[in-house]
Amino acid sequence: MDWQPHITVATVIENDGRFLFVEEFKAGRMVLNQPAGHLEADESLCEAALRETLEETGWEVELTALLGIYLYTAPSNGVTYQRVCFIARPVRHDPERELDADISGITWLTRNELADQPERWRSELVLQCVDDYLAGISGPLELLR
């Protein structure tokens, strides 16, 4: 059996009780997700998280901690994703920056606003990562090598 997980990164970004999400069109519907994407060749996990966040939201962020490493198998295609999720703080926004083609916009939501829209989550990891952040789960970035 040829099985290979896809490595992705994501960032949980909170500002005054609201979290930054991207709105993207996937599998025929508009979904919410943390800024996230795939690790590219010759790129560190931290570099990937910073790049994906900027490309998808126009926000420069500072990574402050590792939130967790998650495994998720998409029911739609059976692909397993290993998600390395970071905590980040917003630094600077460029509202004129063109976002990735598959991103239709960004939005800031509270945890409850997100929880009230489960039909819009790209996966259950979207709320899980917010809840883990609110529970105070984190590790030092030095864990990543």
The predicted-structure confidence for 28-49, as pLDDT tens digits, reads as follows 889 999 999 999 999 999 999 9
- Quick check: is 120 in a domain? yes
Q: Which stretch, 23-32, 94-103, 105-114, has highest mean pLDDT?
A: 105-114
Domain assignment of residue 1, yes or no: no
1 pLDDT above the threshold of 70? no
The boundaries of the domain holding residue 105 are: 6-143
pLDDT, mean of residues 106-118: 98
Whether 50 and 37 have beta carbons less than 8 Å apart is answered as: no
Mind listing the pLDDT tens digit for each residue in 60-78? 999 999 999 999 998 888 8
Q: What is the pLDDT at residue 5?
A: 73
- Given the DSSP bridges, would you call strands 59-73 and 18-26 parallel, antiparallel or unpaired? unpaired
Neighbour-count burial for 101-115, b at 16+ CB within 10 Å, e otherwise? eebeebeebebeebe
Q: What is the mean pLDDT of residues 13-23?
A: 98
Provide the pLDDT for residue 15. 97
Residue 26: what pLDDT?
A: 84
Rounded to an integer, the average pLDDT of 96-105 is 92
Q: How far apart are CA 11 and CA 52, in angstroms?
A: 9
Instruction: Identify the CATH number of the domain in which residue 13 sits.
Output: 3.90.79.10
- For residue 133, CA distances in Å to 12, 70, 93, 109, 112 come to 8, 13, 22, 14, 14
Number of domains observed in the structure of the chain: 1
Q: Where are the alpha helices (DSSP H) in the chain?
A: 45-57, 111-115, 125-134
124 found inside a domain: yes
Which residue reads 């259950």 in tokens?
A: 124
Looking at the domain assignment, is residue 82 inside a domain?
yes
Which of 116-120's residues contact partners 24+ apart within 8 Å by CB, and which partners? Answer: 117/32, 120/29, 120/30, 120/31, 120/32
pLDDT exceeds cutoff 80 at 4: no
Instruction: Tell whether 12 is covered by a domain.
Output: yes
In this structure, is residue 87 part of a structural domain?
Answer: yes
- Measured from the Cβ of residue 65, the count of other Cβ atoms closer than 10 Å reads 18
